[in-house]
Structure 1
Amino acid sequence: MNQSSSTNSTENQSPITQTDLSPAEIPLSVYDLTVAYHRKPVIWDVSFDIPPGKLVGIIGPNGAGKSTLIKAIMELIPRASGRVNIFGKPYQKNRHRVGYVPQRESVDWDFPVDALDVVTMGLYSEIGWCLPVRKKHRERALDALERVGIADYARRQISQLSGGQQQRTFLARALVQDADLYLMDEPFAAVDAATEKAIVKILQEMKQAGKTALVIHHDLQTVPEYFDYVILLNMRVIDHGPTEQVFTPENLQKTYGGRLTLLEEATETMRRREQSL
């Protein structure tokens, strides 16, 4: 069931709200969310739910408000209006159930810590900022680095890691939290093919474990392969729902406007995929 964007939030609700799921079973619910910088809206009247146990892509052009949306969900930036629930409760009451992978550009890579230290930071809500990190915590952090394939680099300074290794380090920091909902800001940006393959594998493992991931993604050609559910965003929600229903040439035209070359490539990819089924 497709939903078009509208200033009326009830018209822009997800089909999930019409199922038997209770609010506590829905990983993320966003209601009438608006964020503005210097009184200029960046995202406007955004409302949606995302289903449990799915890989959800946030898709839209540069400047559409994708990173702003994730930061507003986590209360890293102020909201002009609207509210957000994580499994039926405000973010602050369920923040321990959320793992976050930031955009690489937002990280100070010259900060003097090694990869293991970065991953261990994901446990600070459990350990406490003033308490010592114990052996069991470091072992969990090392296990997370092993899971993303860079345990051999545990004691290497993050500034000395490649871009792909840096991204895997922050993915491990999120994984060590064993969260129920993961928010990822462009995890595939500027990574090598091996790292992209590793991230996809981790996402699939999350899904199999019943986790939910909300991922900002730019490569339209891989959207049908990577995601079960998509949110098309350009300041407002253009449409959202199962990928096979929502990720259509018509909706992409509404989302991207005049970016015809990119749209044509994505459309051709979808047509080839449909022909192969």
Structure 2
Amino acid sequence: MNSLPAAAGSSRPEDGETAESPLSIYDLTVAYNRRPVLWDVGVNLPAGRLVGIVGPNGAGKSTLIKAVMDLVPRASGRIHVFGEPYRRQRGRVGYVPQRESVDWDFPVDALDVVTMGLYGQIGWCLPVRRKHREMAREALERVGVADLAHRQISELSGGQQQRTFLARALVQDADLYLMDEPFAAVDAATERAIVDILQDMKARGKTVLVVHHDLQTVPEYFDHVILLNMRVVADGPTADVFTPENLQRTYGGRLTLLDEATEAMRRRERSL
């Protein structure tokens, strides 16, 4: 069977996957209308790290997050969260979506949004108790918007909305957090607040995977980085991986790589 050569620097689950491994991905391919978005992705995240996913627009960063949570179909591949399929470990995963994917006109206030993060504990169709609302208020306090608890989400600024969804993830007290562009369209104060929260999460042993665009802040914000351009170009400690050579490989030649992957998928289908 024909395929593309393995990406340099990418890891495989068998290179060290254990039941404590927060996220292990092997041979992941995702395609839309037979056009690959992710191709043969292999990643094994270290525990207790702030991990940035970096790459050009259309490189598959958000798709990778969605594939982990079974939100998009896979053409192939295996994904383990703490050694098990996501569906068995979803209670240990917190998620902050892209702001563009949220219906901000939905008639709920900030406190309601955060309380939604507790439904795994509350149970569907069961009443929200006072202790749950107190937990939600504490999470809003932690991200600095407790005074907006009863503000309808459409009335919040972009930064306030992002803080609210971060509070929803925090209240879950998850072990692995997936964040899709949490710094997009936020003010400098909100970005600094988010960074401080991420550092606190790391100090408490949490693993955080963040889709990120600002190359200048990568060395400051993350201690592990995944360079992605449809495939994993390189991943590892930021000091080792975030180099001019790897960035050139990540941001250059995407069309050629896409064409090669598309042709390889066609050859694979013909061989089946």
Given the two structures, how large is their TM-score scaled by the length of structure 2? 0.89
- Of residues 248, 254, 259 in structure 2, which corresponds to 1:253? 248
When structure 1 is superposed on structure 2, of 95-104 and 123-132 the one drifting more is 123-132
Q: Tell whether the 8 Å contact from 1:142 to 1:154 is kept in structure 2 after alignment.
A: yes
Query: Alignment partner of 2:246: what SS?
Result: helix
Residues 54-75 of structure 1 deviation map (CA, whole Å, 9 limit, x = unaligned): 0000000000000001001100
CA RMSD in angstroms comes to 1.8
**1:164 to partner: Cα distance:** 0.1
- Of residues 28, 49, 55 in structure 1, which corresponds to 2:50? 55
Q: Partner of 1:150 in structure 2?
A: 145
- Of residues 37, 42, 49 in structure 1, which corresponds to 2:32? 37
Q: Partner of 2:67 in structure 1?
A: 72
Q: Tell whether the 8 Å contact from 1:84 to 1:90 is kept in structure 2 after alignment.
A: yes
Q: Partner of 1:202 in structure 2?
A: 197
**1:7 to partner: Cα distance:** 4.4
CA distance in 2, matches of 1:176, 1:144: 6
Equivalences for 1:100-179 in 2 at 5 Å? 100-179=95-174
Identical positions, percent: 76
- Of residues 221, 226, 236 in structure 2, which corresponds to 1:226? 221
Residues 208-262 of structure 1 deviation map (CA, whole Å, 9 limit, x = unaligned): 0000000000000000000000000000000000000000000000001179xxx
Q: Partner of 2:11 in structure 1?
A: 14
CA distance in 2, matches of 1:16, 1:222: 28
- Of residues 76, 86, 94 in structure 2, which corresponds to 1:91? 86
Name the CA shift for 1:90/1:8 in 2 (closer, same or farther; >3 Å): farther
Residues 4-27 of structure 1 deviation map (CA, whole Å, 9 limit, x = unaligned): xx94669765388555xx611110
Q: Which amino acid aligns with 1:14?
A: S
Q: Tell whether the 8 Å contact from 1:56 to 1:230 is kept in structure 2 after alignment.
A: yes
Name the CA shift for 1:111/1:239 in 2 (closer, same or farther; >3 Å): same
Q: Partner of 2:206 in structure 1?
A: 211
Structure 1 residue ranges (4+ consecutive) displaced by more than 2 angstroms after TM superposition: 6-19
Query: Alignment partner of 1:44: what SS?
Result: strand
**1:128 to partner: Cα distance:** 1.2
Q: Which amino acid aligns with 1:244?
A: A
**1:77 to partner: Cα distance:** 1.1
Name the CA shift for 1:18/1:69 in 2 (closer, same or farther; >3 Å): closer
**1:50 to partner: Cα distance:** 0.6
Query: Alignment partner of 1:189: what SS?
Result: coil
Residues 67-100 of structure 1 deviation map (CA, whole Å, 9 limit, x = unaligned): 0010011001111110110010000000100000
- Of residues 165, 174, 178 in structure 2, which corresponds to 1:183? 178
CA distance in 2, matches of 1:130, 1:90: 26
Q: Which amino acid aligns with 2:216?
A: Q
CA distance in 1, matches of 2:141, 2:114: 11
Q: Tell whether the 8 Å contact from 1:119 to 1:176 is kept in structure 2 after alignment.
A: yes
Equivalenced residue count is: 252
**1:125 to partner: Cα distance:** 1.4
CA distance in 1, matches of 2:34, 2:218: 33
CA distance in 2, matches of 1:255, 1:9: 14
Given the two structures, how large is their TM-score scaled by the length of structure 1? 0.87
CA distance in 2, matches of 1:235, 1:74: 18
Q: Partner of 2:18 in structure 1?
A: 23
Query: Alignment partner of 2:19: what SS?
Result: helix
Residues 157-192 of structure 1 deviation map (CA, whole Å, 9 limit, x = unaligned): 000000000000000000000000000000000100
CA distance in 1, matches of 2:221, 2:12: 21
